[in-house]
């Protein structure tokens, strides 16, 4: 941090309203002087996410996530501080100073990949446009029923069969070979020669949720294989972390409160052309936890749309259990045999499509229907087999009530005793891992943050609160304690920031305070403190009591430490050391607090 001058941060914060910014992502309802909503960072039914227009701070009392408007964007958009500042600077029209530093090298590689991709996308789409109606590529577009506006919107393009067209084009524009390689547009051949990765294919740019092109998918126009090739992983494109079409669909997903997940590029594009604008695709067969968490920012409800041919495969159903682990509601819709969303929409239109979506079944019902078809469920053995398969799914449902209802339903459907199903559930191996998975992202961190907060001693918590609320308290505490006197490292962090506040200031600027701290947990603690309505009576006495308590705790710790060392010295017969420690002990006792 510290790279962007404080006055610039202040200017940005002065020009934007946290309520306005957050309400473009979350629907806020007024509540007294504040606004409330269900937290976008953890799943909840009753709102504990509070935004204060007076303080320009938000805090969730459920997961303890909180901070100022920069923190919100960081968390929500999963971007770093600098990007959050840039985003708001752009919106508020504040000019950022040009800055470059060594650790920005990564950032410059990423931003170069974005811009190289953008230039490449323009080239591909220009090529498609120019290649004339009778060209193979445009005949293919017509065959797929794609119209001009949708081709433009999704920036669909065409790469011709040349081996060097892209390489030559980008090089002629002064882009270095390294940068083109970093973007994954060329590959290395024999004797250090390079050639274009995409040749004679229709090109689908892949966007991230913020509308930047992160890579490309390329499809052949005939039946040759491989049907698709995609960009390799680059600094900005990581497999399993993005959802195709989310940039176009996210607003509608939020509005309709559900997303339709299809298989591929063309499904998504056709859906959008027909006005089904909450459709996205997984960019690969199995959805990952990262993708589900990305989607969860916009909705907790998904409808999976399968091609009729693979709908019956239980293996692909197992992947859907992941949604349950992430506490999402998942339904499955099927289309008439022989159709995918693309062909279905073109033949039957949007109304019939909407109807099919309406008829989608819950994962539970869908899976049970398939299993009942597969096994003859009157035989005890096949009933047991069906139940076993169903329980692996039910076991992942996080809500205890829903879980119990499913067990009841399963017992009824197969006419077995409910107790027996519960008995079998105990045998299901592997409890859901929830947030324990590696790279658990925000959920994991926040739980961590909340836990950290509980661990803080009352004296440190109260003192931190009183200092944040009153600049005069800081002056008193600063005379009595050093930051290192605070046991908790996050409170220490906050104390350090508070102690360095200008003596002249008569009011603490909370936003400035948060910006001066880098770690998330102390930032969350500050937003918690300023948003929690606590009325501490007799402040002065509380301040002095807390100072004394902290001093006492520290002295006791020191004494204990000396005693331990004394014990060792006595045991090993180090008389000199022993004498010195006894002296130290007595001094400390005499000195008082």
- Enumerate binding residues for Zn ion (CB under 5 A): 39, 41-42, 60, 62-63
Q: How distant, in Å, are the alpha carbons of 576, 585, 587 from that of 569?
A: 9, 14, 18
Whichever of 395 and 524 has its CB closer to Zn ion, that residue is 524
Can you spell out the DSSP letters for 316-378? HHHTTHHHHHTT-EEEEEE-STT--HHHHHHHHHHHHHHHHHHT-EEHHHHHHHHHHHHS-TT
**Strand pairing category for 201-207 and 259-262:** unpaired
Instruction: Kindly provide the residue ranges of all beta strands, DSSP E only, lying in 38-84, ordered along the sequence.
Output: 49-52, 57-60, 66-67
Whose tokens are 């433009």? That residue is 152
For residue 509, the minimal CB distance to Zn ion (Å) is 25
Whose tokens are 């998918």? That residue is 217
Whichever of 406 and 528 has its CB closer to Zn ion, that residue is 528
Whichever of 446 and 513 has its CB closer to Zn ion, that residue is 446
Whichever of 42 and 74 has its CB closer to Zn ion, that residue is 42
For residue 521, the minimal CB distance to Zn ion (Å) is 15
For residue 71, the minimal CB distance to Zn ion (Å) is 13
For residue 72, the minimal CB distance to Zn ion (Å) is 12
CA 256 to the chain's CA centroid: 21
For residue 26, the minimal CB distance to Zn ion (Å) is 11
For residue 50, the minimal CB distance to Zn ion (Å) is 10
Taking a C-beta distance cutoff of 8 angstroms, is the pair 353, 341 a contact? yes
Q: How distant, in Å, are the alpha carbons of 119, 169, 200, 584 from that of 162?
A: 18, 12, 8, 83
Reading the block at residue 21, the tokens are: 């910014």
Whichever of 42 and 78 has its CB closer to Zn ion, that residue is 42
Whichever of 39 and 280 has its CB closer to Zn ion, that residue is 39
Question: In which region does residue 245 sit, left (phi positive, over 0), alpha (psi from -120 to 50) or beta (all else)?
Answer: left
* CB < 8 Å & 24+ apart, contacts of 583-589: 585/559, 588/555, 588/558, 588/559, 588/562, 589/559
For residue 49, the minimal CB distance to Zn ion (Å) is 6
For residue 273, the minimal CB distance to Zn ion (Å) is 37
Whichever of 42 and 492 has its CB closer to Zn ion, that residue is 42
Q: Which residues touch 212 (CB under 8 Å, ≥6 apart)?
A: 114, 117, 118, 236
Whichever of 315 and 454 has its CB closer to Zn ion, that residue is 454
């Amino acid at each position: 941090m510290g790279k962007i001058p404080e006055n610039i941060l202040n200017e940005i914060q002065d020009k934007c309203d946290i309520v306005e910014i957050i309400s473009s992502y979350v629907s806020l309802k007024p509540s007294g002087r504040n606004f409330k909503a269900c937290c976008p960072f953890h799943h909840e039914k009753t709102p504990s996410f509070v935004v204060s227009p007076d303080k320009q701070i938000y805090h969730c009392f459920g997961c303890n996530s909180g901070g100022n408007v920069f923190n919100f964007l960081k968390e929500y958009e999963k971007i770093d501080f600098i990007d959050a500042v840039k985003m708001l600077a752009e919106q508020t029209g504040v000019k950022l100073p040009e800055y470059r530093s060594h650790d920005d090298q990564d950032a410059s590689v990423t931003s170069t990949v974005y811009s190289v991709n953008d230039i490449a996308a323009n080239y591909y789409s220009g090529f498609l446009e120019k290649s004339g109606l009778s060209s193979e590529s445009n005949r293919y577009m017509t065959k797929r029923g794609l119209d001009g506006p949708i081709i433009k919107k999704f920036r669909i393009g065409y790469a011709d069969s040349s081996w060097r067209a892209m390489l030559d084009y980008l090089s002629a524009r002064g882009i270095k070979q390294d940068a083109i390689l970093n973007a994954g547009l060329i590959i290395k051949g024999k004797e250090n020669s390079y050639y274009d990765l995409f040749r004679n294919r229709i090109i689908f740019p892949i966007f991230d949720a913020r509308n930047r092109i992160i890579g490309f998918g390329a499809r052949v126009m005939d039946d040759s294989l491989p049907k698709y090739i995609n960009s390799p992983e680059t600094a900005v494109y990581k497999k399993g972390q993005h959802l195709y079409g989310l940039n176009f669909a996210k607003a509608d997903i939020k509005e309709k409160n559900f997303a339709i997940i299809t298989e591929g590029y063309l499904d998504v594009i056709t859906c959008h052309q027909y006005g089904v604008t909450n459709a996205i695709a997984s960019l690969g067969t199995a959805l990952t936890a990262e993708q589900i968490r990305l989607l969860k920012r916009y909705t907790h409800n998904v409808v999976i749309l399968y091609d009729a041919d693979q709908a019956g495969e239980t293996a692909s159903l197992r992947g859907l259990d992941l949604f349950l682990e992430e506490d999402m509601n998942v339904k499955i819709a099927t289309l008439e045999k022989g159709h995918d969303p693309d062909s279905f929409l073109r033949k039957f239109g949007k109304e019939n499509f909407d109807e099919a979506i309406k008829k989608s079944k819950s994962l539970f019902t869908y899976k049970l229907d398939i299993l009942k078809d597969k096994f003859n469920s009157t035989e005890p053995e096949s009933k047991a087999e069906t139940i076993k398969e169903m329980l692996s799914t039910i076991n992942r449902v996080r809500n205890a009530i829903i879980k119990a209802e499913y067990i009841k339903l399963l017992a009824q459907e197969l006419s077995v005793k409910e107790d027996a199903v519960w008995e079998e559930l105990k045998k299901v191996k592997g409890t859901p891992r929830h947030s324990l998975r590696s790279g658990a992202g925000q959920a994991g961190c926040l739980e961590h943050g909340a836990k950290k907060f509980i661990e803080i001693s009352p004296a440190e918590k109260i003192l931190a609160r009183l200092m944040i609320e009153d600049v005069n308290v800081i002056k008193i505490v600063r005379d009595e304690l050093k930051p290192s006197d605070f046991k908790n490292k996050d409170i220490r962090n906050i104390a350090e920031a508070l102690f360095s506040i200008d003596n002249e200031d008569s009011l603490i600027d909370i936003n400035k305070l948060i910006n001066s701290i880098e770690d998330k947990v102390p930032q969350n603690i500050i937003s918690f403190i300023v948003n929690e309505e606590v009325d501490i009576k007799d402040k002065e006495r509380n301040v002095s009591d807390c100072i004394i308590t902290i001093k006492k705790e520290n002295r006791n710790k020191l004494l204990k430490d000396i005693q331990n060392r004394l014990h060792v010295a006595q045991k090993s017969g180090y008389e000199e050391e022993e004498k010195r420690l006894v002296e130290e002990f007595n001094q400390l006792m005499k000195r008082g607090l």
